[in-house]
Amino acid sequence: MNDALSRELYARARQRLPGGVNSPVRSFLSVGCAPRFIASAKGSHITDVDGNEMIDYVCSWGPGILGHAHPEVLEKVKAACDAGLTYGAPTEREVEMAELLSVLVPSMEVSRLVSSGTEAVMSAIRVARGFTGRDKILKFQGCYHGHSDGLLVKAGSAALTTNVPDSAGVPADFVKHTLVAQYNDEQSVRACFEAFPDEIAAVIVEPVAANMGVVLPEAGFLRFLREITEKYHALLIFDEVITGFRLALGGAQEYYGVTPDLTTLGKIIGGGMPVGAYGGKAEIMRCVSPDGPVYQAGTLSGNPIATAAGLATLRILQQDRDIYRRLEAKTLRLRDAFLSAGAGIQVDQVGSLMSVFFTDTPVVDYAAAASSDTAAYADYFRFLLERNIYVAPSQFEALFVSDAHTQEDLDRTCEVIKEYFTHGICLSRN
């Protein structure tokens, strides 16, 4: 595979961008090669600047559930652009988005649009503290909730990939109120509440962890979180930046039947464009300025281009209820290909989310995920990339399937999976 232009761009980028990228996981450092610079995308494929067309299982880290450049979404975006890019003033589409969210995710009675998932989580945490009058937040090791200071403690995503689960530049005072429990470990949560029974404002959790790789909640774990937060009068926040509209139209809370007090959503509600939202019970959200004392603002919040793309995307999902069955069927086919061909791996899958871990240990928490052989994953990644299949350049990220993936895409991917586990491991390490 020719990658001369990508390498040239990477060399230029390294002169002006930290690590040559604008987000750490794009650097490909953990898989031992230079990143591919993408020129275009359509459907289930992306094409780099060297003209290599690849089957894409990153899907812009999740929001590409319909595939790239969906014609109905593009039509709405182009029309919105013709009317102007941003106003810094209210628009009808903001109202429509909030109304639609309240229908699709009923727990979000009142919501506020922002510009990213990180901003949504940061704001939801502030609301939880403002509503409860408490300071402490409980999160889980390996769960990533964006790069705000107070949550970069034992984080996942690129922080795990680069072996820096905490960040320099974050004062100790900023995280002194952040408690860390173990995902799927009820006792670790109980211990935190018993130690600080009147001080925890909220528990924040990825209902399906997807930033230490995909790790499923064990039976009853989410229900336990709902019950213990109610017992101690704390709020339960579901970070559905990844799972929102991925597992079901109502997200993980619909899929698992557990209702949080607050929900955070990311770029999937913008069809992949920069947008996010946080919302929940009206009583809680009325604390947000100008209704209440919790301040949060943003000039680009709910901007007209992102809301145009998001409304188009969500309405397609709303109208095509069979899409989730199709997505899961495609993902199960890939899962079965890994399980039938692979040895020494674990596959965690739910809906159209999946991760392949290079470990013999069942992956139910951070420690098990961290036991993965990252060198083996790097071999696997490079093998697939050379055969024009693009997966996450990190052991600790998810594989995403879109409605645009065709049977031909799946056939080709399954062939390459079989090839890799049959003799590719030996070839790639020699």
Burial of 238 (0-12, 13-18, 19+ CB in 10 A): buried
Closest by Cα among 240, 417, 409, 272 to 338: 417
Report yes or no: 341 and 417 within 8 Å, Cβ to Cβ: yes
DSSP label at 420? I
Residue with tokens 């403002």: 130
Q: Annotated catalytic, 380?
A: no
Choosing from 239, 261, 379, 403, the catalytic residue is 239
Return d(Cα 44, Cα 23) in angstroms, integer. 22
Q: Annotated catalytic, 403?
A: no
Closest by Cα among 406, 346, 417 to 42: 406
Report yes or no: 242 and 206 within 8 Å, Cβ to Cβ: yes
Choosing from 136, 154, 267, 330, the catalytic residue is 267
Closest by Cα among 193, 226, 179, 211 to 369: 211
Choosing from 144, 183, 255, 256, the catalytic residue is 144
Tokens for 137?
């937040």
DSSP label at 423? I
> What is the DSSP annotation of 349-407?
EETTEEEEE-SSS---SHHHHHTS-HHHHHHHHHHHHHTTEE--SSTTS-EE--TT--H
User: In the chain, count of helices (H) and strands (E)?
Assistant: 16, 14
- Compute, in degrees rounded to 10, the torsion defined by CA atoms 361, 363, 368, 369: 120
Q: Annotated catalytic, 144?
A: yes
Catalytic center residues: 144, 239, 267
